[in-house]
């Protein structure tokens, strides 16, 4: 956990340095956010996530959480489908699902995802249903706060993690 926290602090400093030199609004098609996932004490971990918008309705993303690195793609303008491939010591996890976004105000955007995931090549892997809701709240030129909740539902049980971070647009 200590190494993850140090990594998150270093990345936050880098994000703030980039924010000091904002790019024109027309070029704001890349964003990066760093923060913490908060749940029970043993599940707290740092995260780094980012997304690059591609021509057309495609976006590519990368996410690091203390125990997993994932790459993903999403399709659609304000709603559509997504897929994610996560790699960790538990193996390779595949997730597919649907996503959508909406404006809560002229400045605040919210996004939500709901999908199913499982580990490849593991007979003991159970199908997990995952959900995430995030809001992006701008507070300075190209900086925003990211707040949200992640939910994992498996075998009749569930786990929720809060998500809080700071991000910037490029």
Helices vs strands, H then E, count in the chain: 1, 10
Q: Which architecture characterizes domain 2-169 according to CATH? A: Beta Barrel (2.40)
Tell me, what's the pLDDT at 77?
87
Read off the pLDDT of each residue in 137-164 and give the average, rounded to a whole number. Answer: 92
Q: Answer for the pair 34, 167: CB distance below 8 angstroms, yes or no.
A: yes
> Distance of CA 118 to CAs 21, 78, 157, 170, Å?
41, 26, 16, 33
Say if residue 24's pLDDT is above 50.
no
Read off the pLDDT of each residue in 104-119 and give the average, rounded to a whole number. Answer: 94
Say if residue 148's pLDDT is above 50.
yes
Say if residue 28's pLDDT is above 80.
no
CA–CA separation, 35 and 51 (whole Å): 15
Cα-Cα-Cα-Cα dihedral sign, residues 89, 47, 62, 134:
positive
What pLDDT, in 10s, does the model give residues 114-141? 999 999 887 767 899 999 999 999 998 8
What pLDDT, in 10s, does the model give residues 43-98? 789 999 999 998 889 999 999 998 899 999 999 989 999 999 999 988 899 999 99
């Amino acid at each position: 956990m200590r190494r993850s926290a140090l990594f998150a602090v270093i990345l936050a400093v880098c994000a703030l340095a980039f924010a000091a030199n904002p790019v024109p609004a027309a070029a704001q098609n890349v964003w990066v956010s760093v923060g913490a996932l908060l749940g029970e004490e043993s599940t707290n971990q740092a995260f780094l996530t980012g997304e690059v918008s591609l021509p057309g309705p495609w976006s590519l993303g990368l996410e690091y959480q203390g125990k997993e690195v994932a790459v993903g793609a999403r399709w659609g303008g304000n709603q559509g489908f997504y897929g994610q491939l996560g790699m960790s010591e538990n193996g390779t996890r595949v997730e597919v699902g649907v996503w959508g976004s909406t404006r809560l105000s002229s400045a605040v955007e919210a996004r939500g995802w709901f999908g199913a995931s499982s580990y490849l090549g593991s007979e003991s892997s159970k199908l997990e249903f995952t959900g995430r809701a995030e809001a992006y709240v701008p507070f300075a030129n190209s900086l925003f706060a990211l707040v949200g909740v992640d939910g994992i539902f498996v075998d009749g049980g569930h786990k929720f993690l809060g998500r809080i971070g700071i991000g910037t647009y490029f």
